Copies of this chain bind each other. A is one copy, B any other.
């Protein structure tokens, strides 16, 4: 049983190692693998309008996501999210739960659409998941991601209109 709630600052000691491990792998997010804790705190917690954590029954934090406008002003009705699941907790439906939760949150906040700007084309599990939740592949950016093991690989732009 997963519950999702707002991030609190005292969650950071549990959230940071999860983010660091994910970004150090350099196969899903653009954040530089050597990013500092302060840089990632800014990007994941301070810049977004909201950050959430997913907690298992015993309270352990197993995932996190942020939600923010994808563009300023006249593009700010489209939001962007980023999701990370603890590697030890993969395969338990946490990404699905966070994806559903984020869409409900975004609708509550009056966002009209959600956009992912740089979905690494080799990240097939994520692509399948977003497609199952109604996201379309809007386009392919040739060699736009510098994968740490595979070199330059394509990235996808994915998009879903909400509440339609």
- Proximity string of chain A (140-164) to chain B, C-beta cutoff 8 Å, 1 when within and 0 when not: 1111111110001001010101000
User: Measuring CB to CB, which residues of chain A are less than 8 angstroms from any residue of chain B?
Assistant: 26, 29-33, 35, 43, 71-78, 112-113, 115, 117-118, 138-148, 152, 155, 157, 159, 161
- What copy number does this chain have within its complex? 2
A74-B145 in contact (CB<8A): yes
Instruction: Give every chain B residue within 8 A of A76 (Cβ-Cβ).
Output: 30, 32
B31-A113 in contact (CB<8A): no
Instruction: Give every chain B residue within 8 A of A152 (Cβ-Cβ).
Output: 77, 112
CB distance from A9 to the nearest CB of B (A): 23
CB distance from A135 to the nearest CB of B (A): 12
